[in-house]
Chain A
Amino acid sequence: MAEPAKRQPPSVAPLAGLRVLAPLARYALRVDLAVAAAAAAAAAAAGAGAGIMPLATAVCRASQLRDWHALWLGPDEQLLLGPAAAGAAFAAAVGNALQGVPHSLVDVSHRQGALEVSGPAAATLLNAACPLDLGLAATPVGFCSRTVFGKAEIVLWRRAEHAFQLEVWRSFLPYVHGLLTLAAAE
Chain B
Amino acid sequence: MSGHYRTASGGIDLERSRPIRFEFDGQAYQGLQGDTLASALLANGVHLVGRSFKYHRPRGIMAAGPEDPNALVTVRRDAARSTPNLSAAQVELYEGLVAHSQNRWPSLRFDVGRINDLLSRFIPSGFYYKTFMWPRTAWHSLYEPRIRAAAGLGVAATEADPDVYAQRYGHCEVLIVGAGPAGLAAALTAARRGARVLLCDEQALPGGSLRADTGTRIDGKAATDWLRETMLELAQAQNVTVLTRTTAFGYLPHNMVCLSERLTDHLASPPASKPRERLWQVRARQVIFATGAIERPLVFPGNDRPGILLAGAARSFLNRFGVLPGRRVVILTAHDEAYRTALELQAAGAQIVALADLRARASGPLIDAARGAGLAIRRNTTAVGTRGNLRVCAVGLAAVDADGAAAGDTDWVSCDTLLMSGGYTPSVHLHSQGRGKLRWEETAQVFVPAEAGQSCRSVGACKGLTGAALAAVFNQAATAARDATTECGFEALPVTIAVSDDTSAGGGWLGTLPQAARPRGGKAFVDWQNDVTAADLGLAVREGFRSIEHIKRYTTTGMATDQGKTSNLNALAIAARQLGRTIPEVGLTTFRMPYLPVGFGGLAGYARGELFAPLRKTPMYGWAAARGAVFEPVSMWQRARYFPERGEDMHQAVARECQVVRRSCGIFDATTLGKIEVAGPDAIEFMNRMYVNNWNSLAVGRCRYGILLRDDGFVFDDGVVARTAEDRLHVTTTTGGAPRVLGLMEDYLQTEWPQLKVWLTSTTEQWAVIAVQGPRARDVLEPLVEQADLSAASLPHMAMTRALVCGVPAMIFRVSFTGELGYEINVPADYGAEVWRAVWESGQAHGMCAYGTESMHVLRAEKGYIIVGQDTDGTMTPDDAGVGWAVGKSKSEFVGMVSLRKRALQDPNRKQLVGLLTADPRHVLEEGSQIAATPGQRPPMQLVGHVTSSYYSSVLRRSIALAVVNGGRSRMGETLYVPTPAGESAVTVTQPVFYDSKGERLNG
The number of chain A residues with a CB under 8 A from chain B is 51
Contacts of A2 in B (CB 8 A): 786, 804, 807
Contact segment of A4-12, A43-51, A60-68: A4-12
Question: Chain B's nearest CB lies how many Å from the CB of A17?
Answer: 15
Residue among B164, B169, B681, B833 with most chain A CB within 10 A: B169
Verify if A141 is at the interface (C-beta below 8 Å from B). Answer: no
Question: Chain A's nearest CB lies how many Å from the CB of B438?
Answer: 31
Given contacts A1-B806, A5-B831, whether A171 and B169 have CB atoms under 8 Å apart is no
Please report which residues of chain A, range 128-180, place their CB below 8 angstroms from some CB of chain B when the two chains form the complex: 128-135, 138, 150-152, 169-172, 174-175, 178-179
Verify if A30 is at the interface (C-beta below 8 Å from B). Answer: yes
Q: Is the CB–CB distance between B761 and A108 below 8 Å?
A: yes
Contacts of A175 in B (CB 8 A): 611, 613-615
Q: Is the CB–CB distance between A151 and B607 below 8 Å?
A: yes
Contact segment of B224-232, B454-462, B616-624, B927-935: B616-624
Q: Is the CB–CB distance between B171 and A138 below 8 Å?
A: yes
Contacts of B614 in A (CB 8 A): 151-152, 171-172, 174-175
Q: Is the CB–CB distance between B757 and A170 below 8 Å?
A: no
Contacts of A169 in B (CB 8 A): 765
Q: Is the CB–CB distance between A4 and B611 below 8 Å?
A: no
Contacts of A185 in B (CB 8 A): 164, 273
Q: Is the CB–CB distance between B830 and A182 below 8 Å?
A: no
Q: Mark B163-197, 1 if CB is under 8 A from A, else 0.
A: 01011111100000000000000000000000010
Give the complex CA separation of A150 and B783 in angstroms.
44
Q: Mark B291-314, 1 if CB is under 8 A from A, else 0.
A: 000000000000000000000000
Contacts of A7 in B (CB 8 A): 828, 830-831
Verify if B413 is at the interface (C-beta below 8 Å from A). Answer: no
Contacts of A23 in B (CB 8 A): 830
Given contacts A106-B677, A106-B763, whether A111 and B829 have CB atoms under 8 Å apart is yes
Q: Is the CB–CB distance between A108 and B763 below 8 Å?
A: yes
Q: Which of B617, B759, B808 contacts A171 (CB 8 A)?
A: B617
Q: Is the CB–CB distance between A150 and B606 below 8 Å?
A: yes
Q: Is the CB–CB distance between A4 and B606 below 8 Å?
A: no
Given contacts A1-B807, A110-B829, A128-B166, whether A102 and B834 have CB atoms under 8 Å apart is no
Q: Is the CB–CB distance between B679 and A106 below 8 Å?
A: yes
**A-B contacts, CB under 8 A, total:** 145
Q: Is the CB–CB distance between A183 and B763 below 8 Å?
A: no
Please report which residues of chain B, range 781-814, place their CB below 8 angstroms from some CB of chain A when the two chains form the complex: 783-784, 786, 804, 806-808
Contacts of A52 in B (CB 8 A): none
Give the complex CA separation of A104 and B767 in angstroms.
18
Given contacts A110-B765, A110-B828, whether A178 and B610 have CB atoms under 8 Å apart is yes
Q: Which of A76, A111, A133 contacts B283 (CB 8 A)?
A: A133
Q: Is the CB–CB distance between B834 and A8 below 8 Å?
A: yes
Q: Is the CB–CB distance between A150 and B607 below 8 Å?
A: yes
The chain B residue sitting closest to A11, CB to CB, is B622
Given contacts A1-B783, A111-B829, whether A127 and B807 have CB atoms under 8 Å apart is no
Verify if A103 is at the interface (C-beta below 8 Å from B). Answer: yes
Give the complex CA separation of A104 and B827 in angstroms.
20
Verify if A118 is at the interface (C-beta below 8 Å from B). Answer: no
Q: Which of A4, A107, A128, A174 contacts B617 (CB 8 A)?
A: A174
Q: Is the CB–CB distance between B806 and A5 below 8 Å?
A: yes
Verify if B275 is at the interface (C-beta below 8 Å from A). Answer: yes
Contacts of B762 in A (CB 8 A): 111
Verify if B439 is at the interface (C-beta below 8 Å from A). Answer: no
Q: Is the CB–CB distance between B169 and A104 below 8 Å?
A: no
Verify if B274 is at the interface (C-beta below 8 Å from A). Answer: yes
Give the complex CA separation of A107 and B763 in angstroms.
8
Verify if B680 is at the interface (C-beta below 8 Å from A). Answer: yes
Contacts of B275 in A (CB 8 A): 186
Q: Is the CB–CB distance between B680 and A103 below 8 Å?
A: yes
Give the complex CA separation of A95 and B419 in angstroms.
84
Q: Is the CB–CB distance between A9 and B606 below 8 Å?
A: no
Given contacts A106-B677, A111-B766, A179-B611, whether A6 and B834 have CB atoms under 8 Å apart is yes
Contacts of A106 in B (CB 8 A): 677, 679, 761, 763, 766
Question: Chain A's nearest CB lies how many Å from the CB of B604?
Answer: 12
Q: Is the CB–CB distance between B606 and A171 below 8 Å?
A: no
Verify if B835 is at the interface (C-beta below 8 Å from A). Answer: yes
Residue among B170, B611, B677 with most chain A CB within 10 A: B611
Give the complex CA separation of A132 and B273 in angstroms.
26
The chain A residue sitting closest to B831, CB to CB, is A5
Given contacts A174-B617, A175-B615, whether A1 and B607 have CB atoms under 8 Å apart is no
Verify if B281 is at the interface (C-beta below 8 Å from A). Answer: yes
Give the complex CA separation of A104 and B683 in angstroms.
10
Give the complex CA separation of A109 and B167 in angstroms.
32
Contacts of B835 in A (CB 8 A): 5
Contacts of A131 in B (CB 8 A): 169, 281
Question: Chain B's nearest CB lies how many Å from the CB of A21?
Answer: 13
Give the complex CA separation of A44 and B385 in angstroms.
96
Q: Is the CB–CB distance between B196 and A135 below 8 Å?
A: yes
Residue among B168, B618, B834 with most chain A CB within 10 A: B168
Give the complex CA separation of A105 and B244 in angstroms.
52
Contacts of B834 in A (CB 8 A): 5-6, 8
Q: Is the CB–CB distance between A186 and B274 below 8 Å?
A: yes
Q: Is the CB–CB distance between B679 and A104 below 8 Å?
A: yes
The chain B residue sitting closest to A77, CB to CB, is B759
Q: Is the CB–CB distance between B677 and A8 below 8 Å?
A: no
Q: Mark B374-398, 1 if CB is under 8 A from A, else 0.
A: 0000000000000000000000000
Verify if B637 is at the interface (C-beta below 8 Å from A). Answer: yes
Q: Is the CB–CB distance between B167 and A4 below 8 Å?
A: no
Give the complex CA separation of A172 and B637 in angstroms.
10
Give the complex CA separation of A117 and B607 in angstroms.
21
Give the complex CA separation of A30 and B758 in angstroms.
9
Contacts of B167 in A (CB 8 A): 128-129
Contacts of A10 in B (CB 8 A): 619
Give the complex CA separation of A107 and B167 in angstroms.
36
Closest 5 CB pairs of A and B: A30-B759, A171-B616, A104-B679, A104-B759, A175-B614
A-B contacts, 23 of them at CB < 8 A, read A2-B807, A5-B807, A5-B834, A5-B838, A7-B830, A8-B833, A9-B830, A10-B619, A30-B679, A30-B759, A102-B681, A106-B677, A107-B828, A108-B761, A110-B765, A110-B766, A111-B829, A169-B765, A171-B616, A171-B637, A172-B616, A175-B614, A186-B275
Apart from the given pairs A106-B763, A127-B169, 18 other A-B contacts in the complex at a CB distance below 8 Å: A2-B807, A4-B806, A5-B835, A6-B834, A7-B831, A8-B833, A28-B761, A104-B677, A104-B679, A104-B761, A110-B767, A110-B830, A111-B762, A111-B765, A151-B607, A170-B829, A171-B618, A172-B616
Task: Tell me the B residues contacting A by CB distance below 8 Å.
Answer: 164, 166-171, 196, 273-275, 281, 283, 606-607, 610-611, 613-619, 636-637, 677, 679-681, 757-759, 761-767, 783-784, 786, 804, 806-808, 827-835, 838
